[in-house]
Amino acid sequence: MPIIRTERNYVHAHAIGDDDVFVRASFFGYDEAGNRVLHHMPYRGIEEYQAEVDWAVSMADRMAHPLYVVPFSYDDMLVSGRFDPLCKAVARMTDQERGQMRRGIIKSMIEVLRDCDDWRVRADAYDILVQLKVTYES
């Protein structure tokens, strides 16, 4: 893990693993009551790792505490419980709402199959349609 020194702070840039797909910058700050709290930037694709490191370095001297740039794999995301609120929201949906969501997903995946130039993305969209039993593998 390289530690990048700026004029008055540090950026801890964790190394990218083979299966990492997301990256996120995090930093400590203070809330209105003066309590120290952890802030997270949005998740970005791993291809934007260097941009995230560059952003952290540009912001480091303005922060009171070091910044952290951490890559994540799919497994890291699932184990973290990040998707628990989404799963609970889907569980609370009515049959009509779930059906509407399913139709939206199917429509989106068909558009990806039709319009996307990247064969890997099209393959993922096809796999989703197979999981939804819209089409079958032959």
* 3-25 tens-digit pLDDT: 999 999 999 999 999 999 999 99
Higher pLDDT, 135 or 103: 103
What average pLDDT score do residues 87-97 get? 89
Measure the CA angle with vertex 2, ends 29 and 18; round to 5°: 105
Domains of the chain by residue range = 3-79, 93-131
Q: What is the DSSP letter of 112?
A: H
Tokens matching residue 128? 């989703």
